[in-house]
Amino acid sequence: MKVIPSRLSTIFSALLFALIITPSLAQDAEASGDPVAGKQLFNQNCAACHALNRKMTGPALANVEQRLYEDEGLDKEWLYTWIKNSAGMISAGDDYANRIYNEYNKAAMTAFPTLSNADIDNILAYTAAPPPAAPVAATAIQAVAVSDGNSSTNDLVLAVLSFVLIVLIAMLYLVNKTLRQIATANGIEIQERAKRTPIWKAFVQNQFLVFVSVIVLLLASAYFAYAYMMQIGIDQGYAPVQPIHYSHKIHAGDNKIECTYCHSSARVSKHSGIPALNVCMNCHKSIYEYKGNPEGPSAEDLANGYTNEFYTAEIKKLYKAVGWDEETQSYTGESQPVEWVRIHNLPDFVYFNHAQHYSVAGVECQTCHGPVEEMEIMYQHAPLTMGWCINCHRETNVQLTTNPYYEKIHEELSQKYGVKELTAAQMGGLECGKCHY
């Protein structure tokens, strides 16, 4: 069944490719630029401040060449100079240069003296030929229809099977009834079975058995009660609903952002730190909408409601919290701090230091936090119990050779224990006071 959407997507991507290629071939003749190369250049150099159809830090750039020529009477030469040295033009007193500079909050545009005229041509070619909107929606509808059909087939099979079973039961009853009637008609007596002590009575009468089973029952319930009690306060799998639906899967998984890009204090501090909203805005100033993967959202995402529109709405929540006005591309100063629900809660009496584990010991974040890059909704992966901590301290070897701090102690300890490698436990990592003070 699943063959269909994937085949469809192949067709669509082929189509998409064709669509991109076709206009670019058409444009080639008139703009003498290569929009494919232009797109790459645009993404590298311009996309941080410009979008095609939307004001950002700088103005929207779709058809900029044509627009400038028509509205302001400025030619390509003006653009060349501007892109290579905008500040020079502003100070030289160019009218439009100053107007645009003031319009955009006097945000100076980076000078690109390294771009050649040909490069700029390519970029302009790209801006003149906006790519076609990806036909994602159509795929989505298809996919939904198909998956619907799938589940109804299963229901049908089940319905048929249960019908057959009911018919069989009814037949058995009827046969039995008919046989009895025949027997009565033929005068054959149906023997009643001798009355025996019911099994429960026998059980109650056997005191030994009662005693043993009571013990077994008690032990079993104690076992389960203990198991239940022991997981009180252990919130493994805790995945609360957060005020902003933040997907680690998209950030750390799809886009491969380093964990410590956002959780930067994990490198130096005991706290990994929830990033301040200004860290989000480093990227989200320019990433104002979610475009999804080129193949469109998967059926599973759609079932959960994770559409592009959904994610874009979450980005808007961020803008609201941080007080970012998309229209003017500036901060309003009205912010509402986000109240995240804390997932990993160590008790107060435990001292845990991220820097010690991440920077010094080189432990991967995933060792304790699980496959974060696959988590659409963040959850607590590890039990975070003392037993779990200690186990790791017992099994993990300390990286002694690369850190000069350990030189002396390594020498002395390896002599003492007669081993090359030392675990955290052998280094004193099991002592109470190392974590409890």
Partner 1 sequence: MASHKNYWKSEAELSEKDQVVAQLKQNEFAETLPVNDFLEDESTLKASDTSRRDFLKYVGFSTAAVTLAACEGPVRKSIPYVIQPDQIVPGIANYYATTISDGYDFASILVKTREGRPIKIENNDRASLFGGANARVQASVLNLYDKYRLQGPLAAGSDVSWDALDTAVIARLNALSASGQKAVILSGTNASPSYKALIASLQESYPAVEHLAYDAISSSAALDAFEQMYGERALADYDFSKADLIVSFDADFLGDWQGGSYAKSYVANRVPKQGQMSHHVQLESNMTLTGANADKRLPMTSAEIKRALAALYRALEGESITDSDTSISGHVQAMAQKLVAAGSKSVVVCGLDDVNAQLLTLAINNMLQSEAFDSNAPRYLRSASHQSIQNLIAQMNKGEIGALFIDKVNPVYSLPNGVEFAEAMQKVGFTVCSSFALNETAELASFVAANSHYLESWADTTPKKGYYTITQPTIRNLFDTRQFEECLMKWSGIEGSYHDFIQENWRTNVLQGASWNKAVQDGLFQTEISARSRQTAIASEFLAAAQRQLASASSAGLELVLYAKTGMGDGQMANNPWLQEFPDPISRASWDNYLTISKADAESYGLQNENVANGGLDGSYVKLTVGGVTLDRVPVFIQPGQAKGTVGLALGYGRKVGLQPEMQTGVNAYKLYLESSKVQEVTIEKQSGMHEFACVQLHKTLMGRGDIIKETTLEDFISKPASEWNEVPVVSLDHQEVPANTVDLWESFDRSVGHHFNLSIDLNACTGCGACVIACHAENNVPVVGKKEIRVSRDMHWLRIDRYYSSEESFAADDEKKDNFNGLFGENGSLGGFGTLEDPSANPQVAFQPVMCQHCNHAPCETVCPVAATSHSRQGHNHMAYNRCIGTRYCANNCPYKVRRFNWFRYNQNDEFDFHMNNDLGRMVLNPDVNVRSRGVMEKCSFCIQRTQKSILDAKAEGRAVKDAEFQTACSAACDTGALVFGDVNDKESEVAKLKESERMYHLLEHVGTQPNVFYHVKVRNTEKA
Residues that bind partner 1 in the complex, under the rule CB under 8 A: 232-233, 235, 240, 265, 268-271, 273-279, 321-323, 335, 337-342, 345, 347-349, 351, 353, 355-356, 359-360, 402-409, 412-413, 416, 427-428, 431-434, 436-437
CB of residue 155 to partner 1, shortest distance in Å: 38
CB 286 within 8 A of CB 56: yes
Shortest distance, position 274 Cβ to partner 1, whole Å: 4
By C-beta, is 97 or 400 nearer to partner 1? 400
Closer residue to partner 1 in complex, CB, 173/351: 351
CA separation for the pair 144, 141 (Å, rounded): 5
Toward partner 1, which CB reaches closer, 264 or 298?
264
Q: 299 or 361: whose CB is closer to partner 1?
A: 361
Helices (H), 42-135: 64-67, 76-84, 86-92, 95-103, 117-128
Closest distance of CB 335 from partner 1, Å: 4
Helix (H, G, I), strand (E, B) or coil at 330: strand
Least distance (Å) from partner 1 to the CB of residue 283? 16
Shortest distance, CB of residue 87 to partner 1, whole angstroms?
26
d(CA 343, CA 367): 16
Q: How far is the CB of 314 from partner 1 (least distance, A)?
A: 17
Amino acid symbol at 379 = Y
Q: Kindly tell me which of 185 and 229 has the beta carbon lying closer to partner 1.
A: 229
Q: Which is nearer to partner 1, 190 or 232 (CB)?
A: 232
Residue number with CB closer to partner 1 (31 or 262): 262
38 close to 123: Cβ distance less than 8 angstroms: yes
Q: Work out how close the CB of 409 gets to partner 1 at its nearest, in angstroms, rounded to a whole number.
A: 5
- Using a 10 angstrom Cβ sphere, with 0-12 exposed, 13-18 middle and 19 or more buried, the burial of residue 197 is exposed
Hey, is 118 helix, strand or coil?
helix
Choose among 301, 331, 310, 307: nearest CA to 319.
Answer: 331
Q: Which of 361, 349, 179, 181 is nearest to 266 (CA)?
A: 361
Question: φ and ψ at 231, to 5 degrees?
Answer: -95, 5
Nearer to partner 1 among residue 186 and residue 278 (C-beta): 278
CA dist., res. 86 & res. 63, Å (int)? 19
As a whole number of angstroms, the distance between CA 381 and CA 366 comes to 9
**Smaller CB separation from partner 1, 304 or 345:** 345
Q: How far is the CB of 325 from partner 1 (least distance, A)?
A: 15
Matching residue, tokens 């003392």? 386
- Give the span between the Cα atoms of 435 and 437, in whole angstroms: 6
SS3 assignment, position 325? strand
Q: In whole angstroms, what separates CA 391 from the centre of its chain?
A: 29
Measured on CA atoms in the order 291, 293, 297, 301, is the torsion positive or negative?
Answer: negative
How near is the Cβ of 166 to partner 1 at its closest, in Å?
Answer: 44
Q: What is the dihedral of CA 65, 68, 71, 72, to 10 degrees?
A: -150
Please, what is the minimum distance in Å from the beta carbon of residue 324 to partner 1? 11
CB half-sphere exposure, 95, CA atoms < 13 A: 3
* Cα–Cα dist 311/306, whole Å: 7
Nearer to partner 1, 295 or 326 (CB): 326
